[in-house]
Chains A and B, each alone.
Chain A
Amino acid sequence: MFRRRLTALACSISALGLLVAGCGSSSSGGSPAAQKQTGQVTFWSFVKGSDQVAAAFNQTHPGIKVTFQTVPSGQEYYSKLENAVKAGTAPDVAVVEFPQLPEFATQGMLENLDSTLGPVVQSDFPDSVRQLVDLGGHTWGVPRDVAPLMLYYRNDFFAAHKIAVPKTWDEYQTMTQQVKAADPMARGGVLFTDNPGLLTALAWQAGAQWFGTKGDAWQVSLDDAASTKVADYWGDLAQHDLVSSLTTLDPFWTSVQQNRTVAYVCASWCAGSQQATVPDQTGKWSVAPVPTWDGKPASAMYGGSSFVIPKGAKDSAAAAEFIKWITTDPAGMKAWVASGTSSMFPADPQLVPVTKAAFQTGYFGGQDIYAVGSSSYDAVVPGWTWGPVMGTTNTAIVDQISNVAGGGVQLSAIFADAQQATVKDIEHRGMKVAP
């Protein structure tokens, strides 16, 4: 008892440093997880298809009983998970999106997966996504899906007005002008005002590195040259009313339905949302590679999720077995997309044929959107790391973003403010920030 308490103490002290060093999973000891055949797993997720994947697992693994519980998505979910870990009532498996993973890992809320799922993560995933779950030399989660950027556009509108599909951001700006000239109500892009994820991805694509680690300190650079370039570009588009400023919820979808948004940059998963939300525009949409600054392929991710074992899980061995199946097993991946409406892009490149076969491409006129996704995934700029206080960073950006279009504030100034808020919060939580 005393020794355990001492270990816990040591762990929480090291958590004050940069990253937690291997606390938690050591207790399980003994046989590796893969051989465990019985157990009870509680599973929290908001991801589409989670119920089906749990049911499919239960059918094929009679020894392990997975109980799925739906949770809401967004910041509310993460506070719920955080409190559950604190209270010792955490589930055995939980979904955590990539941006939030470092926050949970640095606070010592996740089990270290080095001895269970670490080898799978090392062998199955490309570096660009492995770097999102490997922090401080340890593996904290297993990627399920990634979200490479793509350009969505109305092929009928582009053809009717002889607008070329842009390959560079310069051409993209020209395209937005052509769209507005062709139809004063229509716009060729969106600046999302309630979610900084896309903007962050565009900075990432331009070569920004918002976060990094140096020794035991965090490096934060939301205001580097690449980010400022992206901020000025999008701020300029918004202020000249060449892209609309909308929230990602019904205002955006209303604009699509009413033909006011005829092109937008989004991730792979938007294909599924697009066809489910605006079904009567079947055949009118196509996808293209996301424009780049220099014309050479470059991409980034807007979204994506991983699965973790929270600290305090009752059956980590069975949990690891379950995670392995739902992230890297073809049968597991098939269960996720059983509905045929999800355009989820698997993080494990070997599983792309599984999801591709399940997705009905009729909406996109039979276009092979997974091919576009694959080349985008290959082009994801490696080396990106999410920060340890993304809630704070995101809030700082979102709070002001709706004032950009009116000229009330420059987007680059918002990034500078977010930089300060982030640094302050990292220090506030007792972690170091490199100068």
Chain B
Amino acid sequence: MSEPTTLSAPASAPARERNSAGKLDRRPAPTTRKQPSALLSKTAVTAILALAALYTLLPMLWLIMSSTKSRQDLFATNGFAPGHGFALFSNLSHLFTTDNGIYLRWIINTVLYAGLGALLATVFSVAAGYAFDKLAFPAKEKIFALVLIGVMVPATAMAIPLYLIAAKVGLVNTYWGVFIPGLVFPFGVYLARVFSAAYVPDEVLEAARLDGAGEFKAFLRIAFPMLGPAFVTIFLFQFTQIWNSFFLPLVMLSDQKLYPVNLGLYDWYSSALSQGHPEDYLLAVVGSLVSVAPLIILFLMLQRYWKAGMTAGAVK
């Protein structure tokens, strides 16, 4: 609903106005200027972006190429070139049948940990961020400072304390041991507060209250829909975070049936070559490719919201 153009910040407008000689509506593109310095900087930027793209895409290319190779070709041919045969489908069928299809189970586990966990974490974050922004309650800023401290502490540093607590309450090696920590997302609360300040005008809430809506109803019916982009942004952040979290599941889980996919792949990968079962190495390669797919699909699906959310947050 909020196009980035309508949000153009007034502070930066005068500066641009002076530079482009009064033509406010026509944005000066660097190419039209024909100045060597501009051309140079454009080349430099393009080169840096190209390098960054290579840096991201080359491993992906290796992964795609390697996934289509037989075990022989995997070591016999160049990693970035196709192999002699096309073994993707036999690799895939091997992947989904190994150990009675444990890989599919890992994928489902990960979707539960990351999908359901991030969904709930986002609901909590948005509600809390909204409360911090719009509601008045005692010691509000002090509590918010606590949330910010939570943002500063890296998730990896929390893994061991969480594990010790889980051991005390008997959650070690259970689904809940990994799921529950994923529900807490301090950075999401912080983001939600910023978004709430940007997207939900106080006047609208006042109007809702005047019309007789209670606080909960005002949040649920008025504010929550306005926070849609915030919801998607926070969800994607937390989803990727849980999807990628490694150390917590590593210490928390011992039963392979509860593993998220990255831990399962690591299991295969870490002992494949040293313990002399290279077929697991190929499984880890193909499994990595398949495990990337859901993330790509999710990002493509939610890209529209995600982009809107990012730009809106940036300009405010």
Tell me the A residues contacting B by CB distance below 8 Å. 42, 44, 46-48, 69-74, 76, 79-80, 83-84, 86-89, 91, 248-250, 253-254, 256-258, 269, 272-273, 276-280, 341-343
Q: Are A48 and B277 in contact (CB under 8 A)?
A: yes
Q: Are A277 and B273 in contact (CB under 8 A)?
A: yes
Q: Are B251 and A79 in contact (CB under 8 A)?
A: yes
Within 8 A of A (CB), among B55-76: 72, 74-76
Chain A residues within 8 Å of B75, by CB: 250, 253-254, 256-258, 277-278
Interface residue? B180 (CB, 8 A): no
Among B263, B273, B275, max chain A CB count under 10 A is at B275
Min CB–CB distance A75 → chain B (angstroms): 10
The verdict on A48 contacting B270 (CB below 8 Å), with A87-B163, A89-B167, A256-B75 known, is: no
Chain A proximity mask over B149-169: 1 for CB below 8 Å, otherwise 0: 000000000001001101110
Min CB–CB distance B78 → chain A (angstroms): 9
Interface residue? B243 (CB, 8 A): no
15 contacts between A and B (CB under 8 A): A69-B256, A71-B267, A72-B250, A73-B271, A76-B266, A89-B167, A248-B274, A250-B74, A257-B75, A257-B76, A258-B76, A273-B274, A273-B278, A276-B277, A276-B278
Min CB–CB distance A51 → chain B (angstroms): 10
Within 8 A of A (CB), among B254-271: 254-256, 263, 266-267, 270-271
Q: How many residues of chain B have a CB within 8 Å of chain A?
A: 30
Within 8 A of A (CB), among B182-196: none
Chain B residues within 8 Å of A76, by CB: 250, 266, 270
Given pairs A73-B274, A250-B281, A253-B278, 9 additional interface contacts (CB within 8 A): A69-B255, A72-B267, A87-B164, A88-B167, A89-B172, A249-B273, A250-B273, A273-B274, A280-B72
Q: Are B275 and A73 in contact (CB under 8 A)?
A: yes
Q: Are A48 and B76 in contact (CB under 8 A)?
A: no
Indicate which residue in B251, B256, B274, B281 contacts A84 across the interface (CB closer than 8 Å). Answer: B251
Chain B residues within 8 Å of A278, by CB: 75
Interface residue? B10 (CB, 8 A): no
User: Once bound together, how far apart are the Cα atoms of A19 and B215, in whole Å?
Assistant: 63
Chain B residues within 8 Å of A91, by CB: 254
Interface residue? B173 (CB, 8 A): yes
Interface residue? B138 (CB, 8 A): no
Indicate which residue in B172, B173, B251, B276 contacts A273 across the interface (CB closer than 8 Å). Answer: B276
**Closest residue of chain A to B165, judged by CB?**
A87
Chain B residues within 8 Å of A258, by CB: 75-76
Chain A residues within 8 Å of B167, by CB: 87-89
Chain A proximity mask over B229-261: 1 for CB below 8 Å, otherwise 0: 000000000000000000000110011100000
Min CB–CB distance B92 → chain A (angstroms): 20
User: Once bound together, how far apart are the Cα atoms of A356 and B246, in whole Å?
Assistant: 39
Chain A residues within 8 Å of B279, by CB: 276
Min CB–CB distance B82 → chain A (angstroms): 16
User: Once bound together, how far apart are the Cα atoms of A328 and B26, in whole Å?
Assistant: 84
Indicate which residue in B72, B163, B270, B278 contacts A73 across the interface (CB closer than 8 Å). Answer: B270
Q: Are A273 and B273 in contact (CB under 8 A)?
A: yes
Min CB–CB distance A262 → chain B (angstroms): 15
User: Once bound together, how far apart are the Cα atoms of A158 and B74, in whole Å?
Assistant: 26
Chain B residues within 8 Å of A88, by CB: 167
Q: Are A46 and B278 in contact (CB under 8 A)?
A: no
Chain A residues within 8 Å of B271, by CB: 46, 48, 72-73
Chain A residues within 8 Å of B76, by CB: 254, 257-258
User: Once bound together, how far apart are the Cα atoms of A44 and B173, in whole Å?
Assistant: 13
User: Once bound together, how far apart are the Cα atoms of A217 and B167, in whole Å?
Assistant: 35
Interface pairs A-B: 8 shortest CB-CB: A87-B167, A273-B276, A257-B75, A272-B276, A277-B278, A48-B275, A72-B270, A73-B271
User: Once bound together, how far apart are the Cα atoms of A279 and B255, in whole Å?
Assistant: 32
Q: Are A83 and B163 in contact (CB under 8 A)?
A: yes
Q: Are A80 and B274 in contact (CB under 8 A)?
A: no
Q: Are B273 and A341 in contact (CB under 8 A)?
A: no
**Closest residue of chain B to A77, judged by CB?**
B270
The verdict on A70 contacting B250 (CB below 8 Å), with A89-B173, A253-B75, A277-B278 known, is: no
Chain A residues within 8 Å of B270, by CB: 46, 72-74, 76
User: Once bound together, how far apart are the Cα atoms of A341 and B279, in whole Å?
Assistant: 13
Q: Are B267 and A70 in contact (CB under 8 A)?
A: yes
Chain A residues within 8 Å of B163, by CB: 83, 87
Chain B residues within 8 Å of A257, by CB: 72, 75-76
Chain B residues within 8 Å of A254, by CB: 75-76
Chain B residues within 8 Å of A80, by CB: 250-251
Min CB–CB distance A54 → chain B (angstroms): 13
Min CB–CB distance B67 → chain A (angstroms): 14
**Closest residue of chain B to A247, judged by CB?**
B273
Indicate which residue in B74, B168, B173, B266 contacts A72 across the interface (CB closer than 8 Å). Answer: B266
Among B172, B267, B277, B279, max chain A CB count under 10 A is at B277
User: Once bound together, how far apart are the Cα atoms of A166 and B267, in whole Å?
Assistant: 38
Chain B residues within 8 Å of A79, by CB: 251
User: Once bound together, how far apart are the Cα atoms of A265 and B181, in whole Å?
Assistant: 46
Among B74, B168, B267, B274, max chain A CB count under 10 A is at B274
The verdict on A83 contacting B160 (CB below 8 Å), with A47-B275, A72-B250, A72-B270 known, is: yes
Chain A residues within 8 Å of B250, by CB: 72, 76, 80
Chain A residues within 8 Å of B266, by CB: 72, 76
